[in-house]
Amino acid sequence: MPRFRDKALPFISEKEISEICIRLGLQISNDYTGKELIALVILKGSIVFAADLVRQISLPLKIDFVRLSSYGHGTESSGTVRIIKDISMNITGKNVLIIEDILDTGHTLTLFTNHLKASKPESVKICTLLDKPSRRKTFIKADYCGKTIEDRFVVGYGLDVDEKCRNYRDILYLKS
Ligand code: IMP
Ligand code: MG
């Protein structure tokens, strides 16, 4: 079976990812000084990024997970979003930081941030590793962004194609 790596090109190295995590961690730690944070990790794609990022944040921090589905198979968004596993902590009056792997059309996080706001948190902000602004279909913006990229499908470091490649240590993009 041909390895996926043979059909892809290197895009973001382990070193660059690690620098991004350090930079974002510092920024978040400064912005929330003296506050407590709930890091809300969007399963499954964000687990690898979240694991690295939270260890660069020097604040009292709790972690929770949610599972949303926006993709069927392949590389195109379905445009519909379902909450498969909702938050399990009480977020009323809390500072929530959503940790996302990639902000694409924006459908997923637009729906989900509105859903969270109904619980009256103190604040809801978004930290995304990657952002594809040219693909946006909603008005949502990331408060913290690792790297802005053009419209290409990327995999690795948590990001999948049909559930594969999440375990790669770097990020690749598909050859067209
Ligand atoms: P949105 O609702 O279109 O913003 O979808 C965001 C979600 O789509 C991300 O959390 C990813 O799970 C997935 N996604 C978007 N672009 C890519 C990509 O280039 N590679 C892998 N997954 C992607
Ligand atoms: Mg995702």
HEC profile for the chain?
A: CCCHHHHEEEEECHHHHHHHHHHHHHHHHHHCCCCCEEEEEEECCCHHHHHHHHCCCCCCEEEEEEEEEEECCCCCEEEEEEEEECCCCCCCCCEEEEEEEEECCCHHHHHHHHHHHCCCCCEEEEEEEEECHHHCCCCCCCCEEEEECCCCCEEECCECECCECCCCCCEEEECC
pLDDT of residue 77: 56
From the CA of 81, give the closest atom in ligand 1: 2
- Please indicate whether residue 6 is annotated as part of the active site: no
128 lines ligand 1 (CB under 6 A): no
Strands 37-43 and 61-71: parallel
- The CA angle 26-68-74, to the nearest 5 degrees, is 100
Neighbours of 50 (CB within 10 A): 24
Q: How far is the CA of 24 from the centre of ligand 2 (A)?
A: 19
How far is the C-alpha of 120 from the C-alpha of 78, rounded, in Å? 29
From the CA of 159, give the closest atom in ligand 1: 21
Q: How far is the CA of 145 from the centre of ligand 1 (A)?
A: 14
Pocket test for ligand 1, best of 101, 104, 112, 175 (most atoms within 8 A of CB): 104
Q: Which regions of the chain are under pLDDT 70?
A: 1-2, 70-79
pLDDT of residue 5: 81
Strands 77-85 and 61-71: antiparallel
pLDDT of residue 81: 77
Q: Which ligand is nearest to the CA of 135?
A: 1
Report pLDDT digits (tens) over 44-82: 999 999 999 999 999 999 999 999 986 544 555 556 778
Q: Which domains does the chain have, with CATH numbers?
A: 2-174 (3.40.50.2020)
pLDDT of residue 76: 53
Q: Which ligand is nearest to the CA of 81?
A: 1
Residue with tokens 């596993």: 85
